């Protein structure tokens, strides 16, 4: 009757009137409870369905938000990777620019040294040119003096010729005087001595005139040689002055070019320094942007994690809605997955009660599976099943020991095998995130039936026969 009410069937109501007043009151109470149950089940069903629809809507929304967050995170990751690569490239360019700046400064120093050396060379060539020019002027003056000396030599030679002519005429006169003195005899002897002296003076004058003429000729010959050497030296000096002038012009031109190149290199060095500074500032800006992008990426990860957490909450909400629907379904009267029957009784009340607890745990797993309950709830019940199985086996062994059951050792090994088997089944079913409880339920049911009917019936008969536990068993 209550099962019909929970299905929404209010037709099958108990008649509110009866011959017996108490039965009528009971019928009215049952009808009232049924009506309230029907309303409650209907309201809870609609509420659970609405809750599931909202949960599904949340799941769709969060899935879309998660997808957008993942795309944003991927985009931020791509930007971060590109910025990392750009930062590395800028760092490499900065290093190369610093090397270029150092090389430019070194070249500027070399250019300045070359400019200074060119200036010094220009001064040196200018001095040499002035020296050559002064030497040329001195040589021209010396050439003039040589010409004058040559003229003076010719004049001296002429004077020497005149002295030789005078000496010849004087010698002739002395000869005539000697002749006349000889003719005069004793009276002309003194005059003869004078004539002899004049004759010797004339000879001496002639010899001196010859020596002067010879020296003049030697001087003239030397002068001609010196003049020739001076002419050749003047030619070489003129050519050297021309070459020195050309060298002076070339050095000054090279010095001007070197100075211009030095200025250009200085300007280039300044530009290189400015570029290096700009690149360094760009690198700092890129580092700041990179930090910002990493921060955005970190926040995107945090948002994604938050979305995942929220989605997990929504998933849990969906599972709760399905579980709630299952609970609403449970409000309907329906047969259990594993009902108790007297065939499962071992004749010992305490052990039958514990077996019933194991049945209720298996039925709870079946109810959670049918209602779409969450894996967490099923894991909890499975853990309770394993723990209670261990407790039950220990209590059974204590009962058998008290009753003096002779096969206790063998039974204990069977218990150990059962515990290992249940643990293995539960571990296998709970591997990973999903729980395959639907395939586990028949195995658990078969295991409990085999345990009760295969082994427990034996010690149960022994306990009853010995009356070891009495009514408390």
How crowded is residue 145: how many other Cβ atoms within 10 Å of its Cβ?
11
Predicted confidence (pLDDT) per residue in 276-325, tens digit: 677 777 667 767 777 776 776 677 677 667 666 666 665 655 665 565 55
Q: Which residues contact 234 (CB under 8 A, 6 or more apart)?
A: 136, 139, 140, 143
Q: What is the residue whose two structure tokens read 């099958």?
A: 12
Per-residue pLDDT of 315-346, as tens digits, reads 655 665 565 555 555 555 557 888 998 888 98
Query: Which residues are CB-contacts of 28 (< 8 A; sequence separation ≥ 6)?
Result: 14, 16
Question: What distance in Å separates the CA atoms of residue 437 and residue 429, rounded to the nearest whole number?
Answer: 7
Reduce the DSSP state of residue 75 to 3 states and report it.
helix
Extents of the domains making up the chain:
118-287, 337-473
> Contact at 8 Å (CB) between 8 and 42?
yes
Q: At the topology level of CATH, where does 118-287 sit?
A: Helix Hairpins (1.10.287)
Average pLDDT, the chain: 75
- CATH of region 337-473: 1.20.120.50
pTM more than 0.85: no
* pLDDT interval class at 468 (50, 70, 90): very low
pLDDT digits (tens, 9 = 90+) for 46-96: 566 666 676 677 677 767 777 776 776 676 667 667 767 777 776 777 777
Tell me how many helices (H) and strands (E) the chain has: 8, 0
Please list the alpha-helical segments (H only) found in 331-374. Answer: 349-370
- What is the CA angle 280-282-283, rounded to 5? 65
In terms of average pLDDT, the best of 45-54, 93-102, 377-386 is 377-386
Sign of the CA dihedral with 76 first, then 79, 85, and 91 last: negative
């Amino acid at each position: 009757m209550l099962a019909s009410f929970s299905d929404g069937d209010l037709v099958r109501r108990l008649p509110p009137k009866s011959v017996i007043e108490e039965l009528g009151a009971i019928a009215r109470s049952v009808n009232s409870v049924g009506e309230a149950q029907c309303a409650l089940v209907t309201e809870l069903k609609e509420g659970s369905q609405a809750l599931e629809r909202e949960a599904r809507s949340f799941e769709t929304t969060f899935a879309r938000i998660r997808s957008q967050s993942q795309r944003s995170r991927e985009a931020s990751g791509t930007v971060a990777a590109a910025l990392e690569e750009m930062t590395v490239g800028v760092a490499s360019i900065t290093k190369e620019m610093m090397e270029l700046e150092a090389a430019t400064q070194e070249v500027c120093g070399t250019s300045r040294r070359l400019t200074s050396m060119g200036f010094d060379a220009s001064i040196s060539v200018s001095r040499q040119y002035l020296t050559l020019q002064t030497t040329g002027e001195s040589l021209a003056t010396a050439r003039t003096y040589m010409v004058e000396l040559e003229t003076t030599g010719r004049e001296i030679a002429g004077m020497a010729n005149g002295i030789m002519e005078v000496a010849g005429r004087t010698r002739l006169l002395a000869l005539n005087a000697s002749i006349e003195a000889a003719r005069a005899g004793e009276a002309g002897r003194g005059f003869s001595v004078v004539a002899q002296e004049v004759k010797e003076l004339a000879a001496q004058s002639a010899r001196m005139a010859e020596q002067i003429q010879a020296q003049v000729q030697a001087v003239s010959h030397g002068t001609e040689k010196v003049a020739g050497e001076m002419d050749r030296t003047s030619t070489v000096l003129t050519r050297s002055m021309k070459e020195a002038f050309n060298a002076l012009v070339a050095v000054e031109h090279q010095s001007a070019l070197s100075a211009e190149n030095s200025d250009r290199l200085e300007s280039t060095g300044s530009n290189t320094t400015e570029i290096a500074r700009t690149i360094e500032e760009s690198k700092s800006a890129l580092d700041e942007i990179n930090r910002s992008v990493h921060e955005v990426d970190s926040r995107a990860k945090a948002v994604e994690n938050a979305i995942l957490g929220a989605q997990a909450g929504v998933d849990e909400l969906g599972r709760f809605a399905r579980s709630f629907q299952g609970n609403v379904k449970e409000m309907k009267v329906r047969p259990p997955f594993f009902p108790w029957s007297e065939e499962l009784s071992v004749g010992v009340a305490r052990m039958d009660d514990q077996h019933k607890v194991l049945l209720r745990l298996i039925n709870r797993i079946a109810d959670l599976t049918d209602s779409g309950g969450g894996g967490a709830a099923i894991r909890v019940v499975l853990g309770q099943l394993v723990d209670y199985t261990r407790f039950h086996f220990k209590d059974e062994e204590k009962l058998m020991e008290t009753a003096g059951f002779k096969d206790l050792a063998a039974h204990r090994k069977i218990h150990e095998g059962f515990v290992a088997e249940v643990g293995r089944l539960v571990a296998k079913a709970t591997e990973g995130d999903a729980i395959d409880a639907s395939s586990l339920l028949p195995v658990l049911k078969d295991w409990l039936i085999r345990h009760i009917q295969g082994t427990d019936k034996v010690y149960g008969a022994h306990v009853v026969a010995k009356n070891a536990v009495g009514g408390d068993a």
